[in-house]
């Protein structure tokens, strides 16, 4: 498969949406947003020609927990890649469910495979909640989502050496990607997301593409195999901005605002 670079088109005069990943982009992974980021988003949203929104794989309660008061600044809050979203922070929409797409038998086959694979893994910690079914995806974590912050940090170091997530992902791709038309992408420090083809973060674009002259997406996992890659390389995106961490995101937001308002 050909690996594409992030979309990089000129910004046009008109209405712009700044669309953000959350983990690793607006916040440190699974942490709450910091005041300097809230201040930056407040500045961006103060311009009449700029709206801001988020899109992530987590469910709505997790997004609300991380975004705190900054959620009031957002025009849209897309969770579970857009299958569940808040429109103007008020109206809740739910589009479809993964379990309806797969059917129970296929879902059970997939989950059984994951749990057997995890049972055979020799890793330092297994904390529980290895598989989490959400509306539009399954989140799979070999260490388990119940791990403490210290256990999470230790797993990150362990995974850098042993590539646990990467090997697990490749195994699932081999066994299920083509068979059930699934995408499997690394979405955070300890887990990856599994969803039907097209149900990645691009899913939210169908609700946005006719509303804005520019859509600029910011994400930290824009590499091939990361869960920002598909949306960052989508032609409906004006520009995909690959960031390193929240501090870098603030720098990129300020540069984009300057560029938007330099257009004659």
Residues that are catalytic = 21, 23
Q: Check the CA dihedral 19-24-30-36 and report its sign.
A: negative
Tell me if 83 sits within 8 A of 229, measured CB to CB. Answer: no
Show contacts of 73-77: CB within 8 Å, 24+ apart: 73/38, 73/41, 73/42, 73/45, 74/45, 75/17, 75/51, 76/51, 76/204, 76/207, 76/208, 77/53
d(CA 199, CA 242): 21
Select from 80, 22, 23, 25 the least CA-distant residue to 54: 22
Pairing type for strands 76-79 and 131-133 reads unpaired
Q: How far apart, in whole angstroms, are the C-alpha atoms of residue 223 and residue 205?
A: 19
- Pick from 236, 257, 258: nearest CA to 51: 257
Q: Strand, helix or coil at 182?
A: strand
Q: Contact at 8 Å (CB) between 189 and 155?
A: yes
Q: Pairing state of beta strands 182-186 and 138-140?
A: unpaired
């Amino acid at each position: 498969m050909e690996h594409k670079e992030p979309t990089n088109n000129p910004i046009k005069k008109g209405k712009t949406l700044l669309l953000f990943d959350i983990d690793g982009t607006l916040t440190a992974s699974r942490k709450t947003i910091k005041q300097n980021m809230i201040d930056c988003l407040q500045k961006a949203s103060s311009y009449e020609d700029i709206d801001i929104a988020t899109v992530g794989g987590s469910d709505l309660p997790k997004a609300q927990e991380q975004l705190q008061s900054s959620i009031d600044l957002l025009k849209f809050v897309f969770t579970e890649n857009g299958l569940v979203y808040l429109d103007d922070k008020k109206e809740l929409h739910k589009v479809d469910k993964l379990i309806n797409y797969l059917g129970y038998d296929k879902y059970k086959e997939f989950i059984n495979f994951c749990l057997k694979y995890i049972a055979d893994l020799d890793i330092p910690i297994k904390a529980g909640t290895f598989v989490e079914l959400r509306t539009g995806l399954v989140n799979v974590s070999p260490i388990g989502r119940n791990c403490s912050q210290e256990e999470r940090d230790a797993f990150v170091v362990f995974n850098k050496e042993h590539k646990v997530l990467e090997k697990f992902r490749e195994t699932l791709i081999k066994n299920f990607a083509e068979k059930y038309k699934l995408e499997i992408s690394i979405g955070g420090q300890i887990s990856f997301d599994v969803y039907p083809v097209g149900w990645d973060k691009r899913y939210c674009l169908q609700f946005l593409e006719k509303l804005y002259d520019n859509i600029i997406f910011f994400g930290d996992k824009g590499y091939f195999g990361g869960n920002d890659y598909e949306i960052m390389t989508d032609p409906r995106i004006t520009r995909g901005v690959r960031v390193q961490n929240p501090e870098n995101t603030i720098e990129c937001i300020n540069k984009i605002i300057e560029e938007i308002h330099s257009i004659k």
